[in-house]
Amino acid sequence: MPLSNRRTLTQYLIEQRRRFPGASGELNALILDVSIACKAVARSVAFGALGDPATRHIAEGGLTNVQGEVQKPLDVVSNEYFVRTTEWSGNLAGQASEEMDEARQIPAPYPRGKYLLVFDPLDGSSNIDVNVSVGSIFSILRLPDHEREPGRDVVEADFLQPGTQQVAAGYAIYGPTTMLVLSVGNGVAGFTLEPNLGEFMLTHPEIRVPADTQEFAINSSNSRFWEPPVKRYVDECLAGRSGPRGKDFNMRWIASLVAEAHRILMRGGVFMYPRDTKDPAKPGRLRLLYEANPIGFLMEQAGGRASTGRQPMLGVKPTALHQRIGLVFGSRNEVERIERYHHDTATRDSGNPLFAERSLFRN
C-alpha cells in the first residue's frame, strides 16, 4: 500500500474516538505521549554498543530495582523517557513502573488527570548485549473515584485493578523495525515506525491470533520444576505425530516477553512461563500489572487467550504493585487445553473417588 494511503497512529486514534462522541480526547493524547517515549527508547536501543549520546552519562551497574535486579543504563534512561514524556500533559493521575519502588505522583507544577499509566520501560534488557529484540510494555487504567476526588495523590491500591479494567494496553518492539502494537478495547492494531517521517503508520490492522497452532514456547531448562499439568502438555507436544496430539510441534524460546508475544500475534503459538517449584515463595516470574495484564489484554482482544493456567489472567485481582504470576497465553485452543490439564490435576488431587486408583483390596 502506498505510504499516502496509510493511516498514522494519530488518525487511527481519532477514528477510534469517534465511537464515543462524548470522549474528551485525553486517552488519545496519553497514548500519543507514550508513542513518543517509545520512539525515544527505540533511538537509544538502536545505538547499541556505539552508545546513545543521550545515555553516556549513566554509569554501568551499581543500581538495583525493587525486584532485586541490576539495572542497565538503558533501563534507567528508558524509565526516564516514559516518566518525562507522559507526566506533563494533565492526562495522568499517577505512574508505576518496574524500575520504581512505589507509585509515582505527578509533580505539582503539572495538572493531574484521570488515568494511571503502568509500564515496563525496557522489557528483555538482558538480551541487548546479544542483539535480541527488546521492547516496552504499557497499560492504562482509570483512577478510581476521579470525579469525586480529582487531583488527589495516588496510592498503591489505585493501581491494583484486574486486567479487565484496562482501557488500553500495548507494547513497542525494537527489532529490525520498530513497531507499536496497541489495543484500545476494539481489537488489536500494529503500527510500524516510518524512519523518514518519524511517524507510526498502520501496517497491521485487525491482528488475529489463530485458534490452533503447532508451536509452543517454554524454558525447558526449568522442566524439573514444572507442575504435572505443564509437564503433561509439553511431553505430549514433544511426542509429535506418534503421540496423543497426532501432530508435530516446534518449540521456540527467545527469553524476551515482547518478542514472544509479537511472534504469537503475527502467526500464532502458545507461550508458557508457568508457576513452578523452583522458588516456592514466588507464584511466578512475570509481573502481573505491567507484563501479564497488558499482554493478556492484547491476546484476548486478538481472539487468543491469556491465563495463569488455572484461571483467566484478566480476572486476577492484584494484591501488590510488583506482584509476580504465572502466565500462559496465545492460541485459544492450546491455552484452554493447558487449563483443562490443570483442572484435571486439581480434581484428582481433591480426593474425588471417581479419579482414585482402584484396587480389589482396601487398607
Residue 321: which CATH number?
A: 3.40.190.80
The DSSP secondary structure of 169-225, one letter per residue, reads EEEEEESSSEEEEEESSS--EEEEEETTTTEEEEEE-S----S--SEEE--GGGGGG
Q: What is the structure's pLDDT at 65?
A: 67
Pair 129, 24 in one domain: yes
In residues, how long is the chain? 363
Pair 197, 305 in one domain: no
Amino acid at 210: P
Q: Would you say the C-alpha torsion 292, 284, 262, 92 has a positive or negative sign?
A: positive
Of 98, 139, 126, nearest in space to 256 by CA = 126
In a domain? residue 69: yes
In a domain? residue 32: yes
pLDDT in tens, 11-35: 999 999 988 887 788 999 999 999 9
- The stretch 189-215 carries a mean pLDDT of 97
The band of 1, judged by pLDDT with boundaries at 50, 70 and 90, is: low
Q: What is the structure's pLDDT at 103?
A: 97
The band of 72, judged by pLDDT with boundaries at 50, 70 and 90, is: confident
In a domain? residue 360: no
Quote the number of domains for the chain.
2
- pLDDT of 351 > 60? The answer is no
- The stretch 42-69 carries a mean pLDDT of 68
In a domain? residue 187: yes
Q: Which domain holds residue 95?
A: 3-204
Pair 153, 276 in one domain: no
| Mean residue pLDDT across the chain | 90
Of 11-20, 241-250, 349-358, minimum mean pLDDT range? 349-358
In a domain? residue 361: no
